[in-house]
């Protein structure tokens, strides 16, 4: 099994744990505990969560640390990034305010990276914290993108 596929197995386990374990996960999906366990087991290299099952579980775990657990890893694997929109985003909201949010979030990312570099070698925890800042910046940009899309044809 390739390292990338092993990583997907690991992230699948993290997702299942984030929703409360196998018993809880089985209540949110169309598959049972045994099938869920096979999807993160290295002993079953050909078994992975179906996308609809992953989406069901990601929705439940959306507010848990590390989210999106599996979908985010898939985005990374294909050279992309997951950008969650904050709840209740006003699609037709204050564009100037949203652009200001992008600037603040970008400054937070810059500050976090500069502080980490100044402190010496970066720990995994520090890198994870920086990646959270980056995800927040992605979300701010996604809001601006959505607001711009909503303005198409209204100029």
Domain boundaries, the chain: 3-77, 95-151
Instruction: Note the pLDDT tens digit of each residue in 84-100.
Output: 777 666 666 788 999 99
Omega cis (within 30) before 27 = no
pLDDT tens digits along 76-85: 899 888 877 7
Q: Residue 69 has what DSSP assignment?
A: S
Give the chain's largest Cα–Cα span.
Answer: 57
């Amino acid at each position: 099994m390739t390292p990338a596929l092993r990583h997907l197995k690991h992230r699948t386990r993290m997702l299942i744990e984030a929703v409360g374990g196998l018993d809880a996960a089985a209540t949110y999906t169309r598959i049972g505990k045994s099938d869920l366990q096979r999807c993160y087991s290295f002993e079953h290299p050909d078994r992975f969560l179906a996308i609809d099952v992953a989406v069901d579980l990601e929705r439940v775990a959306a507010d848990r640390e590390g989210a999106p657990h599996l979908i985010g890893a898939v985005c990374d694997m294909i050279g992309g990034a997951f950008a969650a929109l904050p709840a209740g985003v006003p699609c037709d909201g204050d564009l100037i305010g949203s652009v200001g949010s992008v600037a603040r979030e970008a400054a937070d990312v810059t500050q976090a990276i500069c502080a980490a570099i100044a402190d010496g070698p970066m720990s995994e925890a520090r890198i994870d914290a920086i990646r959270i800042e980056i995800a927040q910046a992605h979300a701010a940009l996604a809001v601006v993108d959505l607001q711009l899309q909503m303005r198409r044809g209204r100029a």
